[in-house]
Structure 1
C-alpha cells in the first residue's frame, strides 16, 4: 500500500490545543510527539514535573471527598452519557489513536469497542456491585452484619502506549464510579487519546479535578505519583511492575499489575484449518503484535501441521501493511523505534542460530519508518532470545507436538501466564485442556477477544504476568476498601451474669452442633 502524505496524517491544531489544556502542568515545559506512520511531529504537549503531581493530588483529594458523597447512580451518569457520544464521535477518536500509535484502523476500532462496552458494563452494574450487602452475623437473628464498600481515595494509574485509549479509559471508568479520584500517567507518546476522553467526560459533567492527567518522564514524576497514591494500577512490562511493587510495598498500599506475556496457541488435530488460520492471523498480528495477550508461540498437532502451516503462512504473506486512516490495512506500524529494534534483534538472532524463516523477517521503511513485516519462524529453540522473552511485535514461532500432555508442558514452560488459545472442533475437550493451562485467560476457537471482551469475568495474569484483575466484579471492587459494620441485638456475646462461664462454654459447644444439624451454619 502506498504511504499517505504527511499532511494527510495530521490532527487539527485546535484539537491539539484543546486536549493539551487538560495536562496538569505549570512548568511551561513541552515535549513533541512524533507520528509513527511518518516520523514527522504530530503534537506538542505540556509536560508535568514533581510539583505538578503533588498539586494534582491535593486538588484530587478535595474533589474526591465531594464525589464520594454522591450516590453511585449519580456517579455513573457521565459515563452513560459518554457511551452515546463516543459512538457518535468514533471517527474522531479512531484518527487520534491511529496517529499516536501507528496501528491499523481495524485495531484502533477494537479500542473504541472496548471502552464503549466496558464503560457501559460498569455504568449498568456499579450500583449493584457497590451497594451494602447483608452478611451472616455472629449469632443468628441477634447479630446484623453489613459489608460496605468505601473508595480507596486517590488512585495512581499508569497506562501503556500499545492500547492507550482502551487501557486508560476502561480502567479509569470503574475507579471513578467506585468513588475515587484518579491521577493518571499515560505514556507520553500516546497521551492524546486519554486527553480526548477526559475532555469528553468533563463536557458531560465529570468534575474537573476528579481525573487529572500528568505527562512526563517517569524519572521526574514517577516517585511523587506512587508516593501519594492510595492505590496503584499499572499495565506494562514485568520489569516495570516489579519496580512499582517494591516502591509502594513499604507504605502497605494496594496495587494491581497486568504485565507481560509469552502466550501460546494450541491447534489440536481436529481443528478447522481455514478458521484456525484466520484466527491465528488475528491472534498473532493484531496491532503488529504489540498486544500483551497476543500469541507469540504457536503449537500445531503433527497430524494437521503439514496442512495448517502452509495455509497460515500463505495468509500471512498476503497481509496488507499500510498507514491509511481507513480499514484497508491488515496491519499497521510499530509505535516506537525501540520496539522495532527489539523485533529486528530477536528475529536476526534466531535466524543466525538456526531458525527457519517462513514469512516476513524484515523492516519495511518503504512504507514507513517503523513498519515490520508479519513474521513466521520455525526451528526456534529454547536458548534463543525469541523463545523465552516477550518480543511484543509481529513475530510468531511455530512448533509441532504429538499429544496433549506434551503440549500442556510446552505451553506452561514459561515464566508468564497471561493468555492462551486452544483450537478444536470439540469444545468440551478444549475446556478440559484449558483447565490445565496456567494462564489467567484461555480462549477456545478465538485468540484473545472472547475472554477479554467477557466483561463480567475477570481478566489478568498468573505467575510473572501480574497480580489482580480488571473486568468483572473485581475490576471495580479492587478500587474499594471493604468495611464490616455489625450490630448486636437481644443478647450479648458473653455469658449473662447469672450463668457461669463453664456452663456458657458447654452451651455454646452444644449450639455449634445444633446449628450444624439444622444447617443454620
Structure 2
C-alpha cells in the first residue's frame, strides 16, 4: 500500500459510557457467587478485592493464615495419593470436559476477568483461548507424554529398560494478577493431569477468576481437594506455599522469582519461573508497514501492556521508520478506551494506582530527559481512576528509566536502526530474554534473524500470540526472564519425577560363564566396539 492509499486514522476515540441497562459489577459478583467460589477456601481473617474500572470493592473474601496453608497442603496430599492412582486417560477426560465447559460458559469468566483486571473484553478472551487450547492439548496428549518408554539397555537383549513418570506430589502455585485465568488453571492443568495435586495462591485482587476456574474443574470431575486455593498477602502466604510444595510454579517479577528460587533450592525442590521482560519488536526494511503497524498495536497494548510477553521496545529500519511511525501513531491515537462488560473497547485500564504511578514515572522521566511523545502520554481519570492512554515515545536514551526497566504498561519506545547486525545486538542488550518479534517479507530472513535473538519465544510477523498459542512447543524465558518452560512435553514433564527401571536377564553385569576379570573386561570391550559398529545409541 502506498502512502496515498494508506487509510487516515486520526483522533483519540474513547468509548462512551456503558449504556443504561448494561451489566454492572453488582450484577456479576453477587453474594451467592462469592459464597460458591470461596467454598473450601480456609481463612480465619477477611480481606477484599476491587475493580480497577472504578476502584470500588468487588467482594469480601476469606483471608488464609500460614496455618491455613499447612492445612491445605495436608488435604491436598491425602487427595493426591488417590488421584495419582486414577488412570491417566480418566484424568485427561476431566480436562476435555473442562474445555467444553469453558467455551460454553465463557461469558461468566469474561465478566470476572474484566472486573478484576480492568482489561478489554477481547483481551480477556485471549485467556479463554489459551486455557481452552491447553486443556485440549493436555487432554489429548497427556497419555502419550506420560506413558512408560522403552530404552536400549546396557547390554541389548539382556538388559530391559523402562522409563516411568511419577507425579511429584503437591505443586505449590503462585499466580499473578494480570492473567488470572490463564496463569492459574492454565498452568495447573498439566500438573493435575500428571497426577499431582495443586495448592494455588492467586493474587487477592484477581482471585475470583481463579476460583471460578477451580469451581468449573470440579464440575468437570476433578476431586475438590486435589486443587486447593489459599488467599492472602503475598509476602505472608507466598513463602508458606513455597515452603510446603514438592514443586513450585511461579509467575511474577524477577526479584520475587529469585526469592522463590532461593527458598526452593534450600529445600532441593524444583521450580518453574516465568519472570519479567523488556521485549523487542524488529521491523526490517522489507516489512509490510501496514501489517507491522497493526501488529505493533496488538503487541504493545493488549491488556494495557500488562503482560510479560508484550512489546516495550520497537526497532524500525531507518528507511521505513517515518512511514511506520506515522501509521503506528495514527492507529494508537484512534484506540478506544472503555470499561463496559462488552466487546468494543480497544484497551482497558491499568490494574492499580501502583501500576499507574509506574507508567507516569517512566514517561515523565523520559520526557524530562529529552524524549518526544508521539502519541498518548496522558492519564484518563475521566474514564476510570487508572486509565492511561496508549503511549508511543521516540528519542529514548540509555539514561532514561524507560529504556531498560520493565514498565508493564501501555508504553513503547521507538528506535531507528541501520543494519541487521546492529539491531540484533541492541535487541539482545538486556538482562531479559522472554519474547521478541520480527517483521519481514522474507521468511528465510525472518527465521535466521529469530535464531539470533536470545529470547525463549520469537514471533515472525506477529507480536506474541503465535508462539504462545502453539502449545505443543515450549514457552519460557532466557536470562533474567526465568527458568523452565510451560507448554508441550516440557510443560508437563516438569511436574513429574523420572524413574529408570532396568531388568537384567540371563547374565549378570559381572564376570560369568567361567570368565575371570581379565576375560570379562576383554569381552565387554569387544561388545562395546560391536555396539558402536552396529550403530547402537
- Which structure 2 residue ranges, 5 or more long, are not aligned? 1-14
* 1:438-459 per-position Cα deviation (integer Å, ceiling 9, x unaligned): 0000000000000000000000
1:357 to 360, 366, 373: 373
2: distance between equivalents of 1:41 and 1:257? 31
Look up the match of 1:71. 87
1: distance between equivalents of 2:39 and 2:126? 27
Are residues 1:335 and 2:343 paired? no
Alignment of 1:281-360 (within 5 A): 281-360=297-376
Alignment of 1:418-497 (within 5 A): 418-496=434-512
Look up the match of 2:16. 2
2: distance between equivalents of 1:3 and 1:51? 45
> CA shift at 1:32, angstroms?
1.6
What's the TM-score, normalizing by structure 2?
0.95
Are residues 1:401 and 2:409 paired? no
1: distance between equivalents of 2:293 and 2:125? 22
> CA shift at 1:283, angstroms?
0.2
2:531 to 504, 515, 520: 515
2:41 to 20, 23, 27: 23
Look up the match of 1:110. 126
Look up the match of 2:191. 175
- Report the more deviating stretch, 37-46 or 399-408: 37-46
Indicate conservation of the 8 Å contact 1:23/1:195, yes or no. no
> CA shift at 1:3, angstroms?
3.4
Indicate conservation of the 8 Å contact 1:301/1:401, yes or no. yes
Q: Secondary structure at the match of 2:526?
A: helix
Are residues 1:503 and 2:522 paired? no
1:378 to 394, 401, 409: 394
1: distance between equivalents of 2:395 and 2:318? 14
Look up the match of 2:278. 262
1:214 to 195, 218, 230: 230
2: distance between equivalents of 1:85 and 1:509? 60
* 1:453-506 per-position Cα deviation (integer Å, ceiling 9, x unaligned): 000000000000000000000100000000000000111111116111112112
Indicate conservation of the 8 Å contact 1:24/1:212, yes or no. no
Q: Secondary structure at the match of 1:184?
A: strand
Indicate conservation of the 8 Å contact 1:22/1:195, yes or no. no
Q: Secondary structure at the match of 1:435?
A: helix
> CA shift at 1:64, angstroms?
0.2
Indicate conservation of the 8 Å contact 2:167/2:195, yes or no. yes
2: distance between equivalents of 1:219 and 1:296? 28
1: distance between equivalents of 2:150 and 2:377? 59
Are residues 1:152 and 2:187 paired? no
> CA shift at 1:223, angstroms?
2.5
Q: Secondary structure at the match of 1:261?
A: coil
> CA shift at 1:8, angstroms?
2.2
Indicate conservation of the 8 Å contact 2:203/2:234, yes or no. no
Look up the match of 1:33. 49
Indicate conservation of the 8 Å contact 2:280/2:312, yes or no. yes
Are residues 1:13 and 2:31 paired? yes
Are residues 1:44 and 2:60 paired? yes
- Report the more deviating stretch, 102-111 or 505-514: 505-514
> CA shift at 1:278, angstroms?
0.4
* 1:252-296 per-position Cα deviation (integer Å, ceiling 9, x unaligned): 010010000000000000000111100000000000000100000
> CA shift at 1:7, angstroms?
7.2
Alignment of 1:58-97 (within 5 A): 58-97=74-113
> CA shift at 1:325, angstroms?
1.1
* 1:206-250 per-position Cα deviation (integer Å, ceiling 9, x unaligned): 111100000001232223211111000000000110010111111
Indicate conservation of the 8 Å contact 2:174/2:238, yes or no. no
2: distance between equivalents of 1:220 and 1:428? 50
* 1:160-204 per-position Cα deviation (integer Å, ceiling 9, x unaligned): 101010111111011000000000001100001110011111122
Q: Secondary structure at the match of 2:488?
A: coil
Look up the match of 2:9. none
Indicate conservation of the 8 Å contact 1:322/1:332, yes or no. yes
Look up the match of 2:11. none
Indicate conservation of the 8 Å contact 1:289/1:392, yes or no. yes
1: distance between equivalents of 2:386 and 2:275? 24
1:186 to 202, 227, 237: 202
- Name the Cα RMSD after superposition: 1.1
1: distance between equivalents of 2:23 and 2:218? 30
Q: Secondary structure at the match of 1:265?
A: strand
